[in-house]
Amino acid sequence: MTVLVTGGSGFVGLNVLQQLLERGEEVVNFSLTPPPPAAQTLFSSLPGTLHTVEGDVCYAAA
């Protein structure tokens, strides 16, 4: 299943991303900034797939 997470680079979002990736889900992280390097390293070792899109949900053109 593909899951969209908004704000996935914040404290709660990072934990949600980790849980989904551990379950092997395909996850799209839509956030103002990419996850920190340490989180990216961890996420790359998990069975799921992460796609990060930088943008602002308040900005329609994003």
Distance CA 27, CA 18 (A): 10
**Which pLDDT value is given to residue 61?**
79
Which residues span the domain enclosing 28? 2-54
**Domain membership flag for residue 62:** no
As given in the structure block, the two tokens for residue 51 are 């796609």
At 11-59, the pLDDT tens digits run 999 999 999 999 999 999 999 999 999 999 999 999 999 999 999 999 8
**Domain membership flag for residue 61:** no
Cβ atoms 24, 30 nearer than 8 A? no
The pTM for the full model equals: 0.91
**Domain membership flag for residue 60:** no
**Domain membership flag for residue 33:** yes
Per-residue confidence band for 60, with pLDDT thresholds at 50, 70 and 90: confident
Count: domains in the chain: 1
